[in-house]
Structures are given as C-alpha cells and as structure tokens.
Amino acid sequence: MSQPTDKIQKLQYFGEFGGVNPSISDSSTYTFLSAKTMFDTFEGNTEGCYLYSRHSSPSNLYLGEALAALEGTESANVYASGMGAISSVIMQLCDSDDHIVSSRTIYGGTYAFMKNFLKKFKINTSFIDITNLDIVANSITSKTKMIYCEAVSNPLLEVADIKELAKIAKQHNIPLVVDNTFSPLSISAAKLGADIVIHSLTKFINGTSDCVAGAVCASTDFCLALKDVNDGAGMLFGSTLDSLRSAAILKNMRTLHIRIKKHSENTLYLASKFEKDGLKIVYPGLQSHKSHTTFKNQMNTEYGFGGLMTLDVGSLDKANAFMEMMQSESLGYLAVSLGFYKTLFSAPGTSTSSEIPMEEQEEMGLSDGLIRFSIGLDNDIEKTYIVMTKCMIALGIINKESILAEV
C-alpha cells in the first residue's frame, strides 16, 4: 500500500559533485556539439538533449519523474501553475466547437476558464453532478473531448468514482481528466483509470505556500505532445516552471507522505469531534459523508482521507467573525489555498468560488456560512479543538451545554 511513496523514495539524483540533491539547471539554453544534433532535437528525435528551458530542463524532468512515480503514470510535465497545467491540457485536447463534460463542483479558476474563456473558441462545457453516472453518460455528445473532474472536489468535497467514470470515458473513447490536487497519495487517480491526472503543486505537494506550480501526469505520448515545438499547448502557451522552483518542490516532495498522514489524522480528529458536538461538518472520512464509501473503496488507506473539511456556521457574518477570532487566537490564517503547515480557512462562497454565480452556488449546496478548512500539522490537535470550540461558544455558534469536552 505504501507503493507511491516507495517509488518516489527510490528516485535518487546526485548532484554534479556527488551532492545528495541534484544540481539545479541554471540555464535557459544549452549548447550542442554538432549542428546536426540541434536540428534533430528540434524535431524531437534526440533523447537526453536539452533545447531551451521552456521546452524542458533537467530540473523539470527530475520533478516530472517524481510526479509520474506519485501517480504511477508513464510520464509527467511540470508547469508554472496548476492553471497553466489545466489550460494546456484542455487546449491540447479541444478544437473550436468541441464540448467538455465537467463536474460542476470544481476549482473556481477552472470553472471560469471553461465557462468564460473557452467561449472565444466556441468550446462548450456541460457542468453536471459528477456523482450521478447516468447524467455523466447522457451528457456526452459526438463533440465531447473529455470528462473532467476533481478526485475530491473544491470546496464541497464530493468524491468522484474514478473507476466508473473511466469506464464511461473508455466506452466513448475519450480521456478522463482528473484534478487530484486535494488528494495526493490518498487517491491514485491514474491507477484507478484516469488517463490524465493534474495537480496544482502549489498546495499539498509543495506544502510550504511559497510558490505556484502545476503538473500533468499522463502517457509519454501525451506529455510529449504538450511539449511539441509545433503544436504543443504547454510549449506554446509557455507556462513553464522555473528550474529553481522545480528543485525546491522536489525536495519538499520528499516529506509528502509524512505531511499527508498528519494532515489526515488531524482533520479526522477535528471532524469527528465537531460532528459529535452537533456541528455541520463535511469530511469524506466521516461515515455521514455522502461519498464516504466511494473514497474508502479507492483510497490508499495509510494516507487517510486528506486535510480538507468544511464547517457550516449558518451565516456569512458568523463565518467571518469566527475566522477572524481563530486568526487572532493563532489557530491558523484567514487565507485561501491549502496544504500549508498552518491551518488555512476561508469562506469559499465569497472567495475561491466567487466566480460561480450565486444561484449556481446555492444549487450545488455552497451556502454562505460555509468555511473551508485546510487543517495544518498541529502537534497538539486536542488543544486546537478546545480553542476552536471556545471561539464558537463565544460567538454563539454552539452552546456550552451541547459540548462533550470540558471546555
């Protein structure tokens, strides 16, 4: 079960002077000993030759190999952001007038890209309930070029049944594209049948909230197509990751397994406690979660159910007051994003999902009292629980009598 981590740990790259980390490729361009090799490299025919760092660089290839090991794919490309990865994949797969079947609960930026930006190319997207497999199958037309979803969705934590979705995709001969940003290691999307797996490395994989980066894990053919100098979306849009960042992310990835386990352990603890206290908690690790079984059936058990949970405190005013109080109690930061050592919280309806119109937010169950938490690596989570509970009592979100703990 520890396969993905073992595979990552087996990857050893030594530095130029025998260093324990690979040397960083500090160059945008590369010399050739012969002019013929340069021509062949442009044509994509020489392995191990570097052309220009927008195409690839040794540092980016090392990180790519680690990401391919994470997902168990043949290959992986890295990008300057998660959106750089997502937009490249979509533009690579779609021509004008094409169609996408996408989950309606996806990252706000991805939603905006599909809904607004792709209009320029007359590419239409049907935003559907990804947990309803009949609707997914019935939404596919002769113009559909992919099924798109998040393994665990943002921010409502719906879980996609990747095996079943992959079957539908296969029947229609189209790829299943899965954004696995919320559940690295916990869910091996490609092993379950996804053809293309995308990550925003900005979140858990880098884990230090100090840069933006992204990745596409897929077949070698698709990864090379994205890099093609003549018609590769990754190459031509130019959202290339800088080698210095790439090297830093690879080093952080070495501790991913430990971090994910701790994020999961802490989140399960808080979610279970708060649920017992009668609060409205959504966490896939709880039996009450509507996709608990789906997650359980496809997870790599030892990494847990991930570090994201939501809590509905009833109104935006209460959510804002609670978040400000938690921040002043040093429980975490009122900030978007996720996967940091410190807990991060935000109200998605007015932040990360504000691209989604109000009516649609309501329809998908995104209420304005909803707070999304990315739970941190707190050493004493019991203490965190007590301080959070004290804040909620002070704000009248919960009353003292209903609490089990001695707060």
Binding site for ligand PLP (CB under 6 A): 81-83, 107, 109-110, 150, 154, 179, 181-182, 200, 202-203, 212, 214
**Smallest separation, CB 385 to ligand PLP (Å):** 25
3-class state of residue 89 by DSSP: helix
The angle at the Cα of 65, spanning 59 to 67, to the nearest 5 degrees, equals 105
- List residues bridging with 149 in a β-sheet: 178
Whether residue 184 is preceded by a cis peptide bond, meaning omega within 30 degrees of 0, is no
Looking at the Cβ atoms of 23 and 350, the one nearer to ligand PLP is 350
Q: Is the dihedral of CA 47, 174, 355, 317 positive or negative?
A: negative
Using CB positions, name the residue nearest to ligand PLP.
Answer: 82
3-class state of residue 95 by DSSP: coil
Name the packing angle between helices 3-10 and 256-276 (round to 10°): 150
Looking at the Cβ atoms of 114 and 381, the one nearer to ligand PLP is 114
User: What is the amino acid identity at position 404?
Assistant: L
**Smallest separation, CB 243 to ligand PLP (Å):** 18
Cβ atoms within 10 Å, residue 143: 13
Looking at the Cβ atoms of 107 and 283, the one nearer to ligand PLP is 107
Helix (H) or strand (E) holding 358: helix 358-363
**Smallest separation, CB 110 to ligand PLP (Å):** 6
Looking at the Cβ atoms of 243 and 352, the one nearer to ligand PLP is 352
- Please give the Cα distance from 242 to 79 (Å, whole number): 9
Looking at the Cβ atoms of 150 and 275, the one nearer to ligand PLP is 150
**Smallest separation, CB 338 to ligand PLP (Å):** 6
Asked whether 320 and 347 are in contact (CB, 8 A), the reply is: yes
Asked whether 260 and 186 are in contact (CB, 8 A), the reply is: yes
**Smallest separation, CB 386 to ligand PLP (Å):** 29
**Smallest separation, CB 3 to ligand PLP (Å):** 24
Looking at the Cβ atoms of 102 and 110, the one nearer to ligand PLP is 110
Give the closest residue to 266 by CA, choosing from 384, 389, 381, 387. 381
DSSP 277: T
**Smallest separation, CB 112 to ligand PLP (Å):** 11
Looking at the Cβ atoms of 67 and 403, the one nearer to ligand PLP is 67
- Residue 101 has φ and ψ, to the nearest 5°, of -105, 115
